[in-house]
């Protein structure tokens, strides 16, 4: 039974008369015409139309909504995005990488890979990536001279990389 507009997401197109549905491009378009005052979110249906996720405008619509839901307003807030937060069909288009997805929507922002919840399997094996991480850690700690690194404490590492390592899945 349909009690509210949200209930339409659980209805399958096969529950409608096929000759009635032929008047519309798809089930979702039919609902948009029949219930014009409700802002339907296509990704909330059990299935989206073929090719829907490949359309950049649709991706932006979804990402804007996801950002609002998760409270992500600034580019740096998107470091909090987890793989599980994103529709699988969209994640697949970006190599199952939240970082790749986020970078595609903020191309001018200089993201730091190690701050994402997941990074690629070989990322830490690259010396340049290790150096970039250490340089950033030094800046965060206010280190300006090589001898400042003698001040490095176990807590500094635990609060940055090791906390990240323990609390997230670094390997994709």
Tell the residue number behind the tokens 């730091």, with chain if given: 112
What pLDDT does 138 receive?
A: 92
Burial 144-165 (b: 16+ CB within 10 A, else e): eeeeeeeeeeeeeeeebbeebe
Is it the case that residue 172 has pLDDT exceeding 60? no
Q: How far apart are CA 89 and CA 54, in angstroms?
A: 9
- Report, as an integer, the average pLDDT of 101-119: 91
- Read off the pLDDT band of 23 (50, 70, 90): confident
Query: Which has more pLDDT, 11 or 71?
Result: 71
Most confident range, picked from 21-25, 38-42, 50-54, 168-172: 50-54
- Cβ–Cβ under 8 Å, residues 116 and 75: no
Average pLDDT across the chain, whole number: 85
pLDDT of residue 166: 46
Can you read off the two tokens belonging to residue 28?
């979702």
- Give me the phi and psi of 41, to 5 degrees please: -110, 105
DSSP tag of 75:
G
Sign of CA dihedral 90, 61, 98, 111: positive
pLDDT of residue 64: 96
3-state secondary structure string across 59-86: HHHHHHHHHHHHCCCCHHHHHHCCHHHC
6 vs 109, residue with greater confidence? 109
* More confident of the two residues 60 and 126: 60
Segment of 48-52, 64-68, 94-98, 130-134 carrying the highest mean pLDDT:
64-68
Model confidence at 162: pLDDT above 70 = no
């Amino acid at each position: 039974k349909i009690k509210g507009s949200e209930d339409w997401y659980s209805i399958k197109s096969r529950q409608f008369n096929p000759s009635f549905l032929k008047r519309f491009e798809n089930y979702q378009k039919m609902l948009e015409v029949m219930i014009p005052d409700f802002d339907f979110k296509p990704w909330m249906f059990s299935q989206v139309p073929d090719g829907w996720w490949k359309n950049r405008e649709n991706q932006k619509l979804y990402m804007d909504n996801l950002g609002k839901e998760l409270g992500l307003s600034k580019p740096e807030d998107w470091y909090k995005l987890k793989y599980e937060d994103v529709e699988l069909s969209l994640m697949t288009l970006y190599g199952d990488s939240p970082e790749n997805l986020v970078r595609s929507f903020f191309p001018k922002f200089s993201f730091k890979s190690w701050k994402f919840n997941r990074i690629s399997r070989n990322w830490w094996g690259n010396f340049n990536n290790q150096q970039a991480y250490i340089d950033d850690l030094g800046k965060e700690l206010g280190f300006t001279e090589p001898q400042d690194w003698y001040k490095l404490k176990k807590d500094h590492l635990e609060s940055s990389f090791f906390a990240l390592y323990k609390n997230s899945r670094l390997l994709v």
